[in-house]
Amino acid sequence: MGGKKSKSAVDDDTTQSGRKSAAQDENLPTVERIRKHTTTHFGYKVLSLARRGLTDAPEELWEITELQKVNLSLNALRSVPPSLGSLQNLVVLNLWGNQLTSLPPEIGRLRNLKVLFAYRNRLNDVPEELGSCTKLEVLSLASNQLTSLPASLSSLAGLKKLNLSHNLIAHIPGCVYSMKSLVFLQLACNRLENIADQIQALADLKILIVEGNCIHSLPKMLCRLTKLELLNVDFNDIQSVPEEMHRLRRLEKLACHPLDKGLHIRHNPLLKPIKEVLDGGLQALYSYLKTT
Protein backbone atom coordinates (compact mmCIF):
# COMPACT_ATOMS: atom_id res chain seq x y z
CA MET A 1 0.00 0.00 0.00
CA GLY A 2 1.20 3.46 -0.76
CA GLY A 3 1.99 5.45 2.34
CA LYS A 4 2.63 9.11 2.84
CA LYS A 5 6.12 10.33 2.03
CA SER A 6 8.27 11.36 4.94
CA LYS A 7 9.13 15.06 5.34
CA SER A 8 12.73 14.35 4.33
CA ALA A 9 11.58 12.60 1.18
CA VAL A 10 9.35 15.54 0.26
CA ASP A 11 12.23 17.94 0.90
CA ASP A 12 14.48 15.85 -1.33
CA ASP A 13 11.90 15.92 -4.12
CA THR A 14 11.56 19.68 -3.79
CA THR A 15 15.33 20.15 -3.87
CA GLN A 16 15.70 17.92 -6.93
CA SER A 17 12.83 19.77 -8.63
CA GLY A 18 14.52 23.09 -7.90
CA ARG A 19 17.82 21.86 -9.28
CA LYS A 20 16.11 20.53 -12.40
CA SER A 21 14.35 23.87 -12.92
CA ALA A 22 17.64 25.76 -12.47
CA ALA A 23 19.37 23.42 -14.89
CA GLN A 24 16.60 23.96 -17.42
CA ASP A 25 16.96 27.72 -16.98
CA GLU A 26 20.70 27.45 -17.69
CA ASN A 27 19.95 25.70 -20.95
CA LEU A 28 17.65 28.49 -22.12
CA PRO A 29 18.98 31.30 -24.32
CA THR A 30 19.61 34.41 -22.18
CA VAL A 31 16.69 36.28 -23.73
CA GLU A 32 14.35 33.46 -22.71
CA ARG A 33 15.69 33.48 -19.15
CA ILE A 34 14.92 37.19 -18.93
CA ARG A 35 11.51 36.66 -20.51
CA LYS A 36 10.68 34.16 -17.73
CA HIS A 37 10.88 37.07 -15.27
CA THR A 38 8.18 39.06 -17.06
CA THR A 39 4.75 39.23 -15.49
CA THR A 40 1.32 40.36 -16.58
CA HIS A 41 -0.09 43.09 -14.36
CA PHE A 42 -3.42 44.75 -15.09
CA GLY A 43 -3.09 43.55 -18.66
CA TYR A 44 0.43 44.95 -19.18
CA LYS A 45 3.58 42.95 -19.94
CA VAL A 46 5.92 44.00 -17.12
CA LEU A 47 9.62 43.41 -16.39
CA SER A 48 11.34 44.72 -13.27
CA LEU A 49 15.12 44.64 -12.95
CA ALA A 50 15.21 47.23 -10.16
CA ARG A 51 17.84 47.08 -7.43
CA ARG A 52 20.02 44.53 -9.24
CA GLY A 53 23.31 46.46 -9.08
CA LEU A 54 23.37 46.66 -12.87
CA THR A 55 25.98 48.85 -14.54
CA ASP A 56 24.59 47.87 -17.94
CA ALA A 57 21.18 46.55 -18.87
CA PRO A 58 21.27 43.04 -20.39
CA GLU A 59 21.57 43.34 -24.17
CA GLU A 60 18.87 40.70 -24.58
CA LEU A 61 16.37 42.93 -22.79
CA TRP A 62 15.91 45.03 -25.93
CA GLU A 63 14.82 41.92 -27.86
CA ILE A 64 11.69 41.45 -25.72
CA THR A 65 9.68 43.84 -27.84
CA GLU A 66 6.32 42.89 -26.33
CA LEU A 67 7.23 44.65 -23.05
CA GLN A 68 4.95 47.50 -22.02
CA LYS A 69 6.43 48.42 -18.63
CA VAL A 70 10.12 48.26 -17.76
CA ASN A 71 11.63 49.12 -14.39
CA LEU A 72 15.41 49.64 -14.30
CA SER A 73 15.40 51.93 -11.28
CA LEU A 74 17.94 51.99 -8.46
CA ASN A 75 20.80 50.45 -10.36
CA ALA A 76 24.13 51.97 -11.44
CA LEU A 77 23.41 52.46 -15.14
CA ARG A 78 25.62 55.06 -16.81
CA SER A 79 23.91 54.86 -20.18
CA VAL A 80 20.97 53.37 -22.05
CA PRO A 81 21.80 51.96 -25.50
CA PRO A 82 20.15 52.97 -28.79
CA SER A 83 18.49 49.54 -28.69
CA LEU A 84 15.95 51.08 -26.31
CA GLY A 85 14.14 52.28 -29.42
CA SER A 86 13.17 48.71 -30.29
CA LEU A 87 10.73 48.54 -27.35
CA GLN A 88 8.03 50.36 -29.25
CA ASN A 89 5.22 48.92 -27.12
CA LEU A 90 6.53 50.59 -23.97
CA VAL A 91 3.96 52.56 -21.99
CA VAL A 92 6.01 53.07 -18.80
CA LEU A 93 9.80 53.41 -18.56
CA ASN A 94 11.33 53.72 -15.10
CA LEU A 95 14.99 54.79 -15.03
CA TRP A 96 15.15 56.74 -11.78
CA GLY A 97 17.99 56.39 -9.31
CA ASN A 98 20.81 55.59 -11.74
CA GLN A 99 23.89 57.47 -12.97
CA LEU A 100 22.67 58.41 -16.43
CA THR A 101 24.28 61.48 -18.00
CA SER A 102 22.11 61.34 -21.11
CA LEU A 103 19.18 59.58 -22.76
CA PRO A 104 19.58 58.12 -26.26
CA PRO A 105 17.94 59.95 -29.18
CA GLU A 106 16.24 56.66 -30.02
CA ILE A 107 13.89 57.25 -27.09
CA GLY A 108 11.87 59.24 -29.62
CA ARG A 109 10.83 55.95 -31.24
CA LEU A 110 8.76 55.03 -28.17
CA ARG A 111 5.58 56.51 -29.60
CA ASN A 112 3.33 54.71 -27.08
CA LEU A 113 5.21 55.96 -24.02
CA LYS A 114 2.95 57.58 -21.43
CA VAL A 115 5.15 57.68 -18.33
CA LEU A 116 8.88 58.39 -18.08
CA PHE A 117 10.66 58.50 -14.73
CA ALA A 118 14.28 59.63 -15.09
CA TYR A 119 14.72 61.50 -11.83
CA ARG A 120 17.77 61.21 -9.56
CA ASN A 121 20.28 60.80 -12.34
CA ARG A 122 23.01 63.06 -13.76
CA LEU A 123 21.30 64.32 -16.89
CA ASN A 124 22.77 67.49 -18.38
CA ASP A 125 20.23 67.69 -21.15
CA VAL A 126 17.26 65.97 -22.74
CA PRO A 127 17.28 64.76 -26.36
CA GLU A 128 15.14 66.72 -28.80
CA GLU A 129 13.70 63.43 -29.96
CA LEU A 130 11.77 63.07 -26.71
CA GLY A 131 9.33 65.51 -28.28
CA SER A 132 8.25 62.69 -30.59
CA CYS A 133 6.76 60.82 -27.61
CA THR A 134 3.53 62.73 -28.00
CA LYS A 135 1.50 60.34 -25.83
CA LEU A 136 3.50 61.26 -22.72
CA GLU A 137 1.31 62.15 -19.76
CA VAL A 138 3.82 62.01 -16.89
CA LEU A 139 7.44 63.16 -17.08
CA SER A 140 9.78 63.38 -14.10
CA LEU A 141 13.27 64.76 -14.64
CA ALA A 142 13.77 65.92 -11.05
CA SER A 143 17.14 65.84 -9.28
CA ASN A 144 19.36 66.10 -12.33
CA GLN A 145 21.64 68.84 -13.68
CA LEU A 146 19.33 70.35 -16.29
CA THR A 147 19.44 74.03 -17.18
CA SER A 148 16.62 73.90 -19.74
CA LEU A 149 14.54 71.69 -22.03
CA PRO A 150 14.59 71.50 -25.84
CA ALA A 151 11.97 73.49 -27.73
CA SER A 152 10.79 70.25 -29.35
CA LEU A 153 9.01 69.30 -26.11
CA SER A 154 6.38 71.87 -27.07
CA SER A 155 4.73 68.98 -28.90
CA LEU A 156 3.90 67.24 -25.61
CA ALA A 157 0.42 68.73 -25.63
CA GLY A 158 -1.05 65.82 -23.63
CA LEU A 159 1.44 66.02 -20.76
CA LYS A 160 -0.39 66.30 -17.44
CA LYS A 161 2.39 66.12 -14.85
CA LEU A 162 5.90 67.59 -15.18
CA ASN A 163 8.49 67.48 -12.41
CA LEU A 164 11.67 69.52 -12.92
CA SER A 165 12.53 70.12 -9.27
CA HIS A 166 16.10 70.12 -7.96
CA ASN A 167 17.81 71.12 -11.19
CA LEU A 168 19.74 74.22 -12.33
CA ILE A 169 16.96 75.97 -14.23
CA ALA A 170 17.07 79.80 -14.23
CA HIS A 171 14.04 80.38 -16.49
CA ILE A 172 10.98 78.21 -16.99
CA PRO A 173 11.66 76.56 -20.37
CA GLY A 174 9.58 78.11 -23.14
CA CYS A 175 8.26 74.73 -24.23
CA VAL A 176 6.49 74.33 -20.88
CA TYR A 177 4.04 77.09 -21.76
CA SER A 178 2.90 74.99 -24.75
CA MET A 179 2.00 72.03 -22.55
CA LYS A 180 -1.62 73.10 -22.30
CA SER A 181 -2.83 69.94 -20.53
CA LEU A 182 -0.59 70.36 -17.49
CA VAL A 183 -2.36 70.05 -14.17
CA PHE A 184 0.83 69.62 -12.09
CA LEU A 185 4.06 71.60 -12.50
CA GLN A 186 6.89 71.14 -10.02
CA LEU A 187 9.92 73.46 -10.24
CA ALA A 188 11.07 73.60 -6.62
CA CYS A 189 14.73 74.15 -5.76
CA ASN A 190 16.00 75.58 -9.02
CA ARG A 191 17.40 79.03 -9.81
CA LEU A 192 14.26 80.80 -10.97
CA GLU A 193 14.11 84.56 -10.54
CA ASN A 194 10.74 85.14 -12.17
CA ILE A 195 7.67 83.55 -13.70
CA ALA A 196 6.89 84.80 -17.21
CA ASP A 197 3.48 86.14 -18.17
CA GLN A 198 3.11 83.14 -20.50
CA ILE A 199 2.19 81.10 -17.43
CA GLN A 200 -1.43 82.14 -18.15
CA ALA A 201 -1.40 79.64 -21.05
CA LEU A 202 -1.54 76.75 -18.56
CA ALA A 203 -5.23 77.24 -17.86
CA ASP A 204 -5.79 73.71 -16.46
CA LEU A 205 -3.00 73.95 -13.89
CA LYS A 206 -4.10 72.85 -10.41
CA ILE A 207 -0.75 72.53 -8.65
CA LEU A 208 2.22 74.87 -9.11
CA ILE A 209 5.26 74.42 -6.87
CA VAL A 210 8.16 76.87 -7.17
CA GLU A 211 9.43 76.89 -3.58
CA GLY A 212 13.13 77.26 -2.89
CA ASN A 213 13.97 79.59 -5.77
CA CYS A 214 14.91 83.29 -6.01
CA ILE A 215 11.61 84.63 -7.35
CA HIS A 216 11.20 88.34 -6.63
CA SER A 217 7.56 88.83 -7.62
CA LEU A 218 4.49 87.01 -8.92
CA PRO A 219 3.09 88.14 -12.29
CA LYS A 220 -0.49 89.34 -12.56
CA MET A 221 -1.07 86.76 -15.28
CA LEU A 222 -0.59 84.02 -12.71
CA CYS A 223 -3.93 85.10 -11.26
CA ARG A 224 -5.67 83.91 -14.43
CA LEU A 225 -5.00 80.32 -13.40
CA THR A 226 -8.30 80.07 -11.59
CA LYS A 227 -8.14 76.27 -11.29
CA LEU A 228 -5.11 76.47 -8.97
CA GLU A 229 -5.70 74.51 -5.80
CA LEU A 230 -2.13 74.55 -4.51
CA LEU A 231 0.41 77.32 -5.08
CA ASN A 232 3.70 76.93 -3.24
CA VAL A 233 6.06 79.92 -3.31
CA ASP A 234 7.74 79.25 0.05
CA PHE A 235 11.41 80.18 0.46
CA ASN A 236 11.68 82.82 -2.27
CA ASP A 237 12.35 86.56 -2.31
CA ILE A 238 8.75 87.76 -2.68
CA GLN A 239 7.90 91.09 -1.07
CA SER A 240 4.33 91.55 -2.27
CA VAL A 241 1.56 89.82 -4.21
CA PRO A 242 -0.52 91.02 -7.17
CA GLU A 243 -3.85 92.65 -6.36
CA GLU A 244 -5.58 90.16 -8.65
CA MET A 245 -4.65 87.21 -6.43
CA HIS A 246 -8.13 87.27 -4.88
CA ARG A 247 -9.33 85.66 -8.12
CA LEU A 248 -7.65 82.40 -7.12
CA ARG A 249 -10.69 81.28 -5.15
CA ARG A 250 -9.70 77.61 -5.12
CA LEU A 251 -6.74 78.48 -2.89
CA GLU A 252 -8.87 78.16 0.20
CA LYS A 253 -6.36 78.66 3.01
CA LEU A 254 -2.82 79.49 4.02
CA ALA A 255 -1.09 76.13 3.99
CA CYS A 256 1.82 74.87 6.07
CA HIS A 257 2.13 71.14 5.49
CA PRO A 258 3.76 70.40 2.09
CA LEU A 259 0.83 68.25 0.99
CA ASP A 260 -1.85 70.71 2.00
CA LYS A 261 -3.78 72.52 -0.69
CA GLY A 262 -3.90 76.28 -0.54
CA LEU A 263 -1.31 79.07 -0.66
CA HIS A 264 2.17 78.37 0.68
CA ILE A 265 3.99 81.67 1.12
CA ARG A 266 6.15 81.24 4.20
CA HIS A 267 9.77 82.41 4.46
CA ASN A 268 9.49 85.36 2.08
CA PRO A 269 10.47 88.98 2.95
CA LEU A 270 6.86 90.21 2.64
CA LEU A 271 6.44 93.94 3.19
CA LYS A 272 3.78 95.72 5.24
CA PRO A 273 0.83 95.65 5.11
CA ILE A 274 0.70 92.28 3.30
CA LYS A 275 2.62 90.55 6.05
CA GLU A 276 0.24 91.81 8.76
CA VAL A 277 -2.89 91.11 6.71
CA LEU A 278 -1.81 87.50 6.19
CA ASP A 279 -1.85 87.02 9.95
CA GLY A 280 -5.63 87.02 9.56
CA GLY A 281 -5.53 84.19 7.01
CA LEU A 282 -6.02 83.95 3.28
CA GLN A 283 -9.56 85.33 3.26
CA ALA A 284 -8.31 88.43 5.08
CA LEU A 285 -5.71 88.87 2.33
CA TYR A 286 -8.35 88.48 -0.39
CA SER A 287 -10.59 91.03 1.29
CA TYR A 288 -7.72 93.47 1.54
CA LEU A 289 -6.69 92.99 -2.10
CA LYS A 290 -10.24 93.54 -3.34
CA THR A 291 -10.42 96.90 -1.61
CA THR A 292 -7.06 98.23 -2.79
Is 73:52 a contact under the CB 8 Å cutoff? no
Q: How confident is the model at residue 259 (pLDDT cuts 50, 70, 90)?
A: confident
Q: How confident is the model at residue 4 (pLDDT cuts 50, 70, 90)?
A: low
Percent of the chain with pLDDT over 70: 90
**Structural domains of the chain sorted by starting position, each given as residue range(s) with its CATH number in brackets:** 24-291 (3.80.10.10)
pLDDT tens-place string over residues 148-199 = 999 999 999 999 999 999 999 999 999 999 999 999 999 999 999 999 999 9
Q: How confident is the model at residue 54 (pLDDT cuts 50, 70, 90)?
A: very high
pLDDT over 80 (residue 91): yes
- CA triplet 59, 139, 226: central angle to 5 degrees? 170
pLDDT over 50 (residue 28): no
Percent of the chain with pLDDT over 90: 83
Q: What is the pLDDT of residue 10?
A: 42
How far apart (Å, rounded) are the C-alpha atoms in residues 125 and 83?
20
**What mean pLDDT comes out for the span 13-42?**
64
Supply the DSSP symbol for 3.
P
pLDDT over 80 (residue 278): yes
Q: How confident is the model at residue 214 (pLDDT cuts 50, 70, 90)?
A: very high
In SS3 terms, 168-214 reads as CCCCCCHHHHHCCCCCEEECCCCCCCCCCHHHHHCCCCCEEECCCCC
Q: What is the pLDDT of residue 94?
A: 98
Q: What is the pLDDT of residue 32?
A: 86
Q: Which of 12-21, 41-50, 198-207, 214-223 has the lowest mean pLDDT?
A: 12-21
- Half-sphere CA count of 25, side-chain side, radius 13 A: 11
How far apart (Å, rounded) are the C-alpha atoms in residues 280 and 292?
17
